[in-house]
């Protein structure tokens, strides 16, 4: 199937999960190859995960993994002794984005005991890439796409149209409901919204990563680990006011 300029597959059974795992076997060690995002209803330990969207860079293919339908089957199905849970937990297989990994990690850990590792948080990359003294506040994905993604004006305009159509369906402030992520079959605007969340992440990651020297790259790696640990703690606050601030303050 295709949505605009990109092909995608729905993954909603043990059989299709096995096909996904077969497709992404033998992932390169130490190179970013999977770009991911989660959607859900109050995405956290107190809510639920509806979908995991995966962009497999080396096939230029998106997988919409239906967690709402499969639940634990998505993480326990094995091919050649390897499960999706093991891929998410591998420190050697680089998974990019979780644009602010904290709520996604919170939900994965508490609902399915997934202890994320090998994660690159693009939001932290963007914060680190700014000049000294301009790192106080974190930016969202929309702003980062506008600032850094090497896209034409037409591509950015199409991306914004897709995002806006999705927001109207799920965001309460636009008259929508997050429950739309659990509606089956998924509507075309929701599919496009999910695909659009990941399809430009390779461009964004590349643009930001090359701005960082070795010291700042390591800072991003360590702070991502800190975010994951923070999200797993009993005291983690889903909507904390402090989450709008970057970890490096005025540095």
pLDDT digits (tens, 9 = 90+) for 30-51: 889 999 999 999 999 999 999 9
Q: Answer whether residue 250 shows pLDDT above 70.
A: no
| Cβ 60 vs Cβ 7: under 8 Å | yes
Mean residue pLDDT across the chain: 92
Structure confidence at residue 251 (pLDDT):
57
| Tens digits of residue pLDDT in 64-85 | 999 999 999 999 999 999 999 9
Indicate the pLDDT class of residue 158, thresholds 50, 70 and 90: confident
More confident: 241 or 107:
107
Neighbour-count burial of 122, counting CB atoms closer than 10 A to its CB (0-12 exposed, 13-18 middle, 19+ buried): buried
pLDDT of 141 over the 70 cut: yes
* 213-239: pLDDT as tens digits: 999 999 999 999 999 999 999 999 988
What whole-number percentage of the chain has pLDDT above 70?
97
At residue 219, the pLDDT reads 97
Longest dimension (CA), the chain: 51
Asked if 23 and 186 touch (Cβ cutoff 8 Å), the reply is: no
Indicate whether 2 pLDDT > 60: no
- HSE-CB of 149 using CA atoms within 13 angstroms: 24
Strands (DSSP E) along 27-69, which ranges?
Answer: 32-41, 48-56, 61-66
Asked if the bond preceding 185 is cis, omega within 30° of 0, the reply is yes
Q: What average pLDDT does range 103-117 have in this prediction?
A: 97
- Domains along the sequence of the chain with CATH: 2-234 (3.30.420.10)
Distance from C-alpha of 77 to C-alpha of 63, rounded to nearest angstrom: 16
């Amino acid at each position: 199937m295709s949505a605009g300029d990109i092909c995608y597959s729905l993954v909603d059974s043990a059989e299709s999960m096995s096909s996904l795992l077969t497709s992404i076997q033998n992932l390169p060690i130490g190179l970013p190859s999977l770009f991911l995002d989660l959607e859900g209803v109050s995405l956290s330990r107190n809510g639920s995960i509806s979908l995991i969207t995966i962009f497999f860079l080396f096939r230029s293919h998106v997988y919409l993994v239906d967690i709402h339908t499969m639940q634990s089957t998505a993480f326990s199905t094995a091919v050649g002794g390897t499960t999706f849970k093991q891929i998410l937990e591998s420190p050697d297989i680089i998974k990019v984005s979780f644009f602010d990994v904290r709520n996604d990690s919170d939900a994965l850990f508490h609902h399915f005991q997934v202890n994320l590792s090998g994660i690159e948080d693009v939001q932290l990359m963007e914060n680190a890439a700014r000049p000294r003294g301009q790192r106080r506040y974190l930016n969202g994905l929309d702003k980062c796409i506008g600032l850094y993604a090497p896209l034409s004006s037409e591509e950015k305009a199409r991306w914004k149209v897709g995002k806006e159509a999705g927001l109207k369906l799920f965001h309460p402030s636009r008259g929508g409901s997050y429950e739309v992520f659990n509606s089956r079959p998924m509507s075309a605007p929701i599919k496009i919204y999910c695909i659009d969340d990941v399809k430009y992440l390779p461009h964004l990651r590349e643009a930001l990563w090359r701005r960082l020297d070795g010291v700042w790259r390591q800072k991003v790696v360590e702070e991502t680990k800190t975010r994951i640990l923070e999200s797993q703690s009993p005291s983690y606050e889903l909507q904390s006011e402090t989450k709008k601030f970057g970890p490096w303050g005025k540095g």
